[in-house]
Chains A and B, each alone.
Chain A
Amino acid sequence: MSGGVDSSTVAAILAHQGGSVVGLTLQLWDQTRLAGRHGISDAPMAGRCCSLDDVYDARRVAEHLGIPYYVVNQEDRFERDVVRPFVSEYLAGRTPIPCSLCNNHIKFDQLLRTARSIGAGRIATGHYAVNEYDPARDRWILKRPADLAKDQTYFLFGLTQEQLAHTLFPLGGLTKPEVRALARHHGLRLADKPDSQEICFIPGGDYKRFLAAYLEEQGELFPETAGELVASSGELLGRHDGIFNFTVGQRKGLGVPSPSPLYVLNIDSVSHRVTVGADAELATRTLRARRLNWISIPELTTPMRVRVKIRHRHEPAWATLESAGLGEALATFDEPQRAVTPGQSAVFYNGDEVVGGGWII
């Protein structure tokens, strides 16, 4: 229970179905930890990870529903499995998605473990997704939800069969307005609370400031990753201060005057060379992914027609997916796709079903 409308409504739905329901909130990050470093405000911000206001809201919902409620401290694991990898990825010039890591390592691993410890058979979350068992394939299937605008399957591609088998997504068949209406129906005062948007532990969404503050707190220095800024022709355009300042597809802050808009095309984490070029050059026809997880199929053996989603707000694009050996998959798009970004995930869809996914190399 995050203290938001979605998980609160899930609690209300389950409590009214009469099951034995326990509310849990994960305490993942101390918002005040980096306060005062690099201009990070020490004022707690609502809607951020584990703010006191959100824990208060979650507890009030549990009290209203009359269910037991606990806050579970997972700050150490969150830092180890989500924050640290996030920082390393950025420093290596990639653009990570902490939400998928959090789902895999914290929400659907640690939370499920905690649930079992206290005698609960399953966990229920406020994610917009559908999971159902298909006897024909003897597999648990993850599907896009009724409200496609809220679809969170992109962040859930790493769920294992065991995790899916022990998870309930009660909001999968509902739209957000329906969820808000249900929240009101159940007398939840937070029915109109705004959705959270940004990465929960990054104050103000300013990841560079977060990196600086976190490294300072850890007594670490930014790694030396300054290097050349070159055009796709190979022409040297200038120098940059570090590859963590860039993400593929980025246009602002390149520091190079140019008559036409320039975009980051490639970030080389070894030579620290950043290549820039025109918008048209951002498009690529293929994508490689590794650390794959398969959901609707046991393994990718033969080439498969799928639609591939390469970032959260991306309309999945048709591609042919095939195994590339060494635990990697290769997707060849029908139409070239703009800004395929290493560090993001690629999720493969067959209709509404999530076939599987992996991390873009």
Chain B
Amino acid sequence: MRRVYMDANATTPLLPEVFEAMRPYWIEHFGNASSIYLQGQQARKAVDRARETLAAFFNCHEAEVVFNSGGTEGDNTAIFGLVRPGDHLITTSIEHSAVLRAAERVAERGAEVTFIPPQPDGLIDPETIRGALKPNTRLISVMLANNETGVLQPVEEIGQIALEAGACFHIDAVQGAGKVPFDVSRYSCHLLSISAHKVHGPKGVGAMYVRRGTPVDPLMVGGSHERRRRAGTENVPGIVGLGKAAELAMESLADGAIDRVAALRDRLEAGILAIPGTGINGAGAPRAANTTNIRFDQVEGEALVIALDLKGVAVSGGSACHSGSTEPSHVLMAMGLDKSAARASLRFSLLKTATEADVEHVLRIVPEAVEHLRALAPVALGSF
């Protein structure tokens, strides 16, 4: 059976170049980057080179790049590292749970937290953030691209508001990375988090831009790694993989590969919208090139995801709860969809390696599956 993977916002496969770049650092160049002899120097050199690439990726100084374990650690570091009891944190109700749960925790510990809801199109209005400012606002944390709808948030304007208010600004750019060009100076942010596995790098590694002088407390303490901002022996192969993935991501942004993905996504969207009773969540707002979130009226999204998987198409709906089942998306509900509309919505997110044939295949499978689900008569129930 032909299998098509359309859940790039969940994770992406390593590109072969990334795998090859990492390969020597498991066995041959296994050194600890903190060691002074040859093996250590080889490892250090690899980490430094990756740092150079990431600095170019963020458009920052190399000293402002901190390697860590991924997006959750970056989001947690920004919030736990800056927000103290009595401080005020502004974030949004459509953030990833790595931000939302951290925000709830600092609230339990005595910080004030404001969750800004989005407009119906999924966009955060920067003026709502301005209106939520308080004298003690310490941090504003907003995502670049929403993981479920792909909607791109106006981070430049929010950065200006933070600047004027004298608050720190963190961007969760896990879903934006590789999909839109980056420039931390344009965003006037203090912190920005990315994760390698969303950009064809390995799982378990990520990086953070930390602007010089930002007084963020480390989450992990121990050795003096990463200029005392993140203790723990460097994940050398992972960092090398992230470096290579970032390099390839910059190439894709420059050579038009991302525009090609956008065209495929638009083709997919048009094909699915030809099915009656469908609609795009977040339509009208600027969106990441690879993502579309589609509502299928009168369809139980969870059943459609399973049916599509059994037919070889991998997409997702809602967010996974602790047991692995699906809960209606908090993002879509925040945009004003009711529970059943949220449950009826699926996310298609294309890899940058997606092909026209992939899209055509999905367009052959999906309408049929939707029709089958809608045609099912309810099971005859007993008298009670």
Q: Is the CB of B381 within 8 A of A104?
A: yes
Chain B residues, Cβ within 8 Å of A161 = 380
Query: Does A109 sit within 8 A of B, measured CB to CB?
Result: yes
Please report the C-alpha to C-alpha distance between residue A201 and residue B16 in the assembled complex, in whole angstroms. 48
Taking the closest CB of chain A, its distance from the CB of B261, in whole angstroms, is 29
Q: Is the CB of A117 within 8 A of B339?
A: no
Q: Is the CB of B310 within 8 A of A162?
A: no
Please report the C-alpha to C-alpha distance between residue A70 and residue B301 in the assembled complex, in whole angstroms. 13
Question: Among A22, A55, A73, A112, which residue has the most Cβ atoms of chain B within 10 A?
Answer: A73
Chain B residues, Cβ within 8 Å of A76 = 339
Please report the C-alpha to C-alpha distance between residue A159 and residue B379 in the assembled complex, in whole angstroms. 11
**Total contacting residues, chain A, CB less than 8 A:** 37
Please report the C-alpha to C-alpha distance between residue A112 and residue B382 in the assembled complex, in whole angstroms. 14
Taking the closest CB of chain B, its distance from the CB of A201, in whole angstroms, is 14
Q: Is the CB of A116 within 8 A of B381?
A: no
Q: Is the CB of B384 within 8 A of A73?
A: no
- Closest residue on chain B to residue A157 by CB atoms: B382
From known contacts A27-B325, A117-B300, A293-B382, infer whether A68 and B309 are also in contact, taking CB-CB under 8 Å: yes
Chain B residues, Cβ within 8 Å of A292 = 383
- From A50, A105, A113, A119, give the contact of B307 (CB < 8 A): A119
Query: Does A212 sit within 8 A of B, measured CB to CB?
Result: no
From known contacts A71-B323, A73-B302, A73-B321, infer whether A113 and B382 are also in contact, taking CB-CB under 8 Å: no
Query: Does B114 sit within 8 A of A, measured CB to CB?
Result: no
Chain A residues, Cβ within 8 Å of B306 = 22, 70, 72, 114, 117-118
From known contacts A73-B327, A116-B376, infer whether A158 and B310 are also in contact, taking CB-CB under 8 Å: no
Chain A residues, Cβ within 8 Å of B302 = 72-73, 114
Q: Is the CB of B376 within 8 A of A160?
A: no
Q: Is the CB of B378 within 8 A of A113?
A: yes
Query: Does A52 sit within 8 A of B, measured CB to CB?
Result: yes
Please report the C-alpha to C-alpha distance between residue A311 and residue B384 in the assembled complex, in whole angstroms. 18
Chain A residues, Cβ within 8 Å of B372 = 117, 119
Question: Among B321, B326, B372, B379, which residue has the most Cβ atoms of chain A within 10 A?
Answer: B379
- From A27, A105, A291, give the contact of B383 (CB < 8 A): A291
Query: Does A333 sit within 8 A of B, measured CB to CB?
Result: no
Chain B residues, Cβ within 8 Å of A163 = 379-380, 382
Per-position binary interface string of chain B over residues 289-328, scored 1 when its CB falls under 8 Å from any chain A CB and 0 otherwise: 0000000000010111011011000000000011111110
Q: Is the CB of B321 within 8 A of A22?
A: no
Query: Does A272 sit within 8 A of B, measured CB to CB?
Result: no
Please report the C-alpha to C-alpha distance between residue A76 and residue B379 in the assembled complex, in whole angstroms. 18
Q: Is the CB of A119 within 8 A of B382?
A: no
Query: Does A263 sit within 8 A of B, measured CB to CB?
Result: no
- Closest residue on chain A to residue B308 by CB atoms: A118
- Closest residue on chain A to residue B380 by CB atoms: A162
Q: Is the CB of B376 within 8 A of A117?
A: yes
- From B310, B322, B379, B381, give the contact of A118 (CB < 8 A): B310
- Closest residue on chain B to residue A100 by CB atoms: B384
- Closest residue on chain A to residue B384 by CB atoms: A291
Chain B residues, Cβ within 8 Å of A118 = 303, 306-307, 310
Per-position binary interface string of chain B over residues 333-375, scored 1 when its CB falls under 8 Å from any chain A CB and 0 otherwise: 0000001000000000000000000000000000000001100
Q: Is the CB of A59 within 8 A of B307?
A: no
Per-position binary interface string of chain A over residues 156-189, scored 1 when its CB falls under 8 Å from any chain B CB and 0 otherwise: 0011111100000000000000000000000000
From known contacts A117-B300, A118-B307, infer whether A59 and B324 are also in contact, taking CB-CB under 8 Å: yes
Taking the closest CB of chain B, its distance from the CB of A112, in whole angstroms, is 5
Taking the closest CB of chain B, its distance from the CB of A258, in whole angstroms, is 38
Taking the closest CB of chain A, its distance from the CB of B117, in whole angstroms, is 23
Please report the C-alpha to C-alpha distance between residue A83 and residue B274 in the assembled complex, in whole angstroms. 40
Question: Among B300, B339, B379, B384, which residue has the most Cβ atoms of chain A within 10 A?
Answer: B384
- From A27, A293, A358, give the contact of B321 (CB < 8 A): A27
- From B303, B324, B381, give the contact of A114 (CB < 8 A): B303
Q: Is the CB of A50 within 8 A of B323?
A: yes
Please report the C-alpha to C-alpha distance between residue A117 and residue B305 in the assembled complex, in whole angstroms. 10
Q: Is the CB of A52 within 8 A of B309?
A: no
Q: Is the CB of B379 within 8 A of A162?
A: yes
Q: Is the CB of A158 within 8 A of B384?
A: yes
Please report the C-alpha to C-alpha distance between residue A30 and residue B373 in the assembled complex, in whole angstroms. 27
Please report the C-alpha to C-alpha distance between residue A52 and residue B307 in the assembled complex, in whole angstroms. 24
Q: Which of A16-57 contact B (CB under 8 A)?
A: 22, 25, 27, 30, 50, 52, 55
Chain B residues, Cβ within 8 Å of A70 = 306, 309, 324-325
Chain A residues, Cβ within 8 Å of B304 = 117
Chain A residues, Cβ within 8 Å of B325 = 25, 27, 70-73
Query: Does A359 sit within 8 A of B, measured CB to CB?
Result: yes
- Closest residue on chain B to residue A103 by CB atoms: B382
Taking the closest CB of chain A, its distance from the CB of B62, in whole angstroms, is 43
Taking the closest CB of chain A, its distance from the CB of B380, in whole angstroms, is 4
Chain A residues, Cβ within 8 Å of B327 = 73
Q: Is the CB of A55 within 8 A of B324?
A: yes
Per-position binary interface string of chain A over residues 2-24, scored 1 when its CB falls under 8 Å from any chain B CB and 0 otherwise: 00000000000000000000100
From known contacts A113-B376, A117-B304, A117-B306, infer whether A55 and B382 are also in contact, taking CB-CB under 8 Å: no
Please report the C-alpha to C-alpha distance between residue A163 and residue B303 in the assembled complex, in whole angstroms. 19
Taking the closest CB of chain A, its distance from the CB of B29, in whole angstroms, is 35
Taking the closest CB of chain B, its distance from the CB of A182, in whole angstroms, is 27
Please report the C-alpha to C-alpha distance between residue A137 and residue B302 in the assembled complex, in whole angstroms. 39
Chain A residues, Cβ within 8 Å of B300 = 114, 117
Please report the C-alpha to C-alpha distance between residue A162 and residue B382 in the assembled complex, in whole angstroms. 10
Please report the C-alpha to C-alpha distance between residue A28 and residue B356 in the assembled complex, in whole angstroms. 40
Chain B residues, Cβ within 8 Å of A327 = 383
Taking the closest CB of chain A, its distance from the CB of B381, in whole angstroms, is 6
- From A73, A114, A158, give the contact of B382 (CB < 8 A): A158
Chain A residues, Cβ within 8 Å of B321 = 27, 73
Chain B residues, Cβ within 8 Å of A113 = 303, 376, 378-379
A-B contact pairs, 15 of them (CB 8 A): A55-B324, A71-B323, A73-B325, A73-B327, A76-B339, A104-B384, A109-B379, A112-B379, A113-B378, A114-B303, A117-B303, A158-B384, A161-B380, A292-B383, A293-B384
Extra contacts, 10 of them, besides A30-B322, A117-B376, A118-B310 (Cβ < 8 A), are: A72-B325, A73-B302, A108-B379, A113-B303, A117-B306, A118-B303, A160-B382, A163-B380, A291-B384, A327-B383
Binding site for A on B (CB under 8 A): 300, 302-304, 306-307, 309-310, 321-327, 339, 372-373, 376, 378-384
Binding site for B on A (CB under 8 A): 22, 25, 27, 30, 50, 52, 55, 59, 68, 70-73, 76, 104-105, 108-109, 112-114, 116-119, 158-163, 291-293, 327, 358-359
